[in-house]
Chain A
């Protein structure tokens, strides 16, 4: 009761104030994203004018690198933080808009292949991460958080599971730091491996979507390969995200049994609460596009809007990476995460290559 009366006295910020607080950070996302885009264009123009042969570095990488440079030198000031945190919102809005570029038949076909791959990946990665957590003597709840983070969708899954299994803040921040560090690493390792293996855009996109944990990094890893790969990575990752409710519910039941607690409320309501609703927006727009509600010019406009939204996301990915913060979290969770990620990346690569032999992707 005491706590509820305290809660009732805390007045939340009014909506206009909350929106106003986002302005500086969103402006920073726009500036960093645009700087990445301008840099790519300028370098291309310069190298062409001087007949130089230089590998093209995409705006995606520039935006991430500029963001990374800012966050690890001058740092991101408090005033920018609320707005920078909106990058996940832009990511999800971008995914919804990208639905216009998918026909429902494609979504069902690739989604079905992704779903099978995701289910196998889920089972193997949860088992492997649990095994690693025991070997490295991590706390059982931290192990659960790392397993969920690496098998489903990174930070969102960790936050959802933290509440469901009643884990400590410290364990959650350990797991989030490890997943983010490894996501950053994936950005620089997945594309060269894909090129070395001469993977097609579709195969690589499927691999990035099933192998990279956090949605923003999975989309960025796809975009660093090609536009087409990014599109497939989004679809595979969205399929993976849709499984979040089931895995979190599984863990909630497991920990409730272990702690002799009872799960309050209906399981269906729990699943609906945890279900990522933007997936429904993506499916709705994809259905409208399949029904030819949009003209080709309108589809191109929607795809471009989606690219603008992703530009803000990539800027946010860079601005969020802080090596200092990662160092603070210690090495053990990072090592467990890294070992797990290498194995999961290898497993998903094997699965994608095997699936390409069985089904025409």
Chain B
């Protein structure tokens, strides 16, 4: 019984969890740029000064 439990445990340990696909830094930069452009376009971000 305990052997079966151990086997299950080992199988669970060896199970390869799928690695979540992450967006690259470049993609996040593009998304941030587009979101900021949308905020400016729709008036939520106005008169940004330098």
Contacts and interface: CB of A to CB of B under 8 A. Distances in A.
A97 B46 contact: no
A232 B50 CA distance: 20
Contacts of B41: 288, 293-294, 298
Nearest to A97: B33
Q: Which of B25, B26, B27, B50 has most A Cβ within 10 Å?
A: B26
A171 to B, nearest CB: 23
A298 B42 CA distance: 10
Contacts of B32: 89, 93, 96
Contacts of A308: 48, 50
B37 interface: yes
Interface in B8-50: 13-17, 24-34, 36-37, 40-41, 45-50
Determine chain B's interface SS by DSSP, over half rule. helix
A266 to B, nearest CB: 17
Nearest to A91: B29
A301 B46 contact: yes
B40 A298 contact: yes
A304 B37 CA distance: 12
Interface string A91-132: 111011101100000000000000000000000000000000
A8 interface: yes
A153 to B, nearest CB: 12
Interface stretch (A69-77, A176-184, A196-204, A275-283): A275-283
Interface in A176-216: none
Interface residues of B, number: 26
Given A88-B25, A92-B26, A5 B14 contact: yes
A137 interface: no
Contacts of B46: 301
A305 B35 CA distance: 12
A320 B1 CA distance: 58
Contacts of B29: 89, 91-93, 95-96, 277-278, 281
A100 B37 contact: yes
A89 B40 contact: no
A194 to B, nearest CB: 23
Contact of B49 (A277, A280, A288, A304): A304
Contact of B34 (A281, A294, A300): A281
Contact of B50 (A91, A95, A280, A307): A307
Contacts of A277: 24, 26-27, 29-30
Contacts of B26: 92, 276-278
Contact of B14 (A1, A89, A288): A1
A233 interface: no
B50 to A, nearest CB: 4
Contacts of B37: 97, 100, 285, 288, 294, 302
A259 interface: no
Interface of A: 1, 4-5, 7-9, 88-89, 91-93, 95-97, 99-100, 276-278, 280-282, 284-285, 288, 293-294, 297-298, 300-302, 304-305, 307-308
11 contacts: A97-B33, A277-B30, A278-B30, A280-B30, A282-B33, A284-B34, A294-B41, A301-B40, A302-B48, A304-B49, A304-B50
